[in-house]
């Protein structure tokens, strides 16, 4: 196993019998002694937590007739401030998604009456996406519930642990995005990652 023979990163608490990642690493240690699986302690947990967190977020958004993908668009428009409008290209960068993916999300939100598309009067190739008054009300209703849900999802961590984890994740994220990434940085071969 290399650096950490226990497979728990030294972070097990009393009465902690380990998680799935611990069991996987312990199995590797039995099957292939000496294989350093320490990266899996982080990567495996981030991946598994992503599944649990996404499911918890989606459940909460469904109560409002939303998906997380739809929320991301609405929230980006609300954060833009009055007139709550962004060029579709800017939304692509904000959401770190390709054009077709963003168009699909906007189509669904437009059918629901939460956003509208408007042509750019100065550039016919560009489209603005604007939050409607109904969309604005929805965001203002959902945001407090969403943040309360995120609080619940993080309840296992103390405030100090959350601060530490946030700082560590920020360091890792900056290693991919860079400190001043203009478009969120999540690209492969120059294309936005879906």
Based on the domain organization, do 54 and 72 belong to the same domain? no
Based on the domain organization, do 54 and 37 belong to the same domain? yes
Based on the domain organization, do 87 and 120 belong to the same domain? yes
Tokens 């900056």 belong to residue: 174
Say how far apart CA 144 and CA 46 lie, in whole Å. 25
User: What's this model's pTM, rounded to 2 decimal places?
Assistant: 0.81
Based on the domain organization, do 51 and 31 belong to the same domain? yes
User: What region does 81 belong to: left with phi over 0, alpha with psi -120 to 50, or beta?
Assistant: left
Q: Is residue 82 part of a domain?
A: yes
Based on the domain organization, do 84 and 28 belong to the same domain? no
Say how far apart CA 3 and CA 157 lie, in whole Å. 26
Domain that holds residue 32: 18-62
Q: Is residue 150 part of a domain?
A: yes
Q: How many domains does the chain have?
A: 2
Based on the domain organization, do 73 and 145 belong to the same domain? yes
Based on the domain organization, do 91 and 142 belong to the same domain? yes
Q: Is residue 161 part of a domain?
A: no
* pLDDT value at 16 more than 90: no
**H/E segment holding residue 37:** none
Residues 134-160 have pLDDT tens digits of 999 999 999 999 999 999 999 999 999
pLDDT at 124: 80
Based on the domain organization, do 41 and 73 belong to the same domain? no
Mean pLDDT (the chain, rounded): 88
Tell me the two tokens of residue 169.
């994740």
Tell me the two tokens of residue 40.
């899996």
Average pLDDT over every residue of 73-82 = 97
């Amino acid at each position: 196993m290399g650096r950490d023979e226990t497979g728990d990163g030294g972070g097990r608490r009393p009465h902690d019998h380990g998680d799935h990642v611990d069991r996987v690493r312990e199995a590797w240690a039995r099957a292939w002694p000496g294989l350093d699986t320490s990266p899996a302690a982080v990567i495996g947990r981030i991946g598994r937590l992503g599944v649990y967190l996404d499911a918890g977020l989606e459940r909460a958004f469904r109560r409002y007739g939303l998906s997380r993908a739809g929320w991301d668009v609405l929230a980006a428009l609300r954060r833009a401030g009055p007139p709550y409008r962004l060029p579709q290209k800017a939304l692509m960068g904000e959401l770190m998604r390709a054009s077709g993916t963003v168009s699909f999300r906007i189509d669904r939100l437009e059918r629901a009456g939460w956003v509208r598309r408007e042509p750019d009067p100065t550039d016919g190739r560009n489209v603005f996406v604007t939050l409607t008054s109904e969309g604005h009300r929805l965001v203002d209703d959902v945001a407090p519930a969403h943040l309360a849900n995120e609080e619940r999802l993080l309840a296992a961590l103390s405030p100090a642990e959350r601060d530490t984890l946030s700082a560590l994740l920020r360091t890792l994220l900056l290693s991919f995005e860079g400190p001043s990434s203009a478009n969120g940085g999540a690209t492969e071969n120059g294309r936005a990652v879906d």
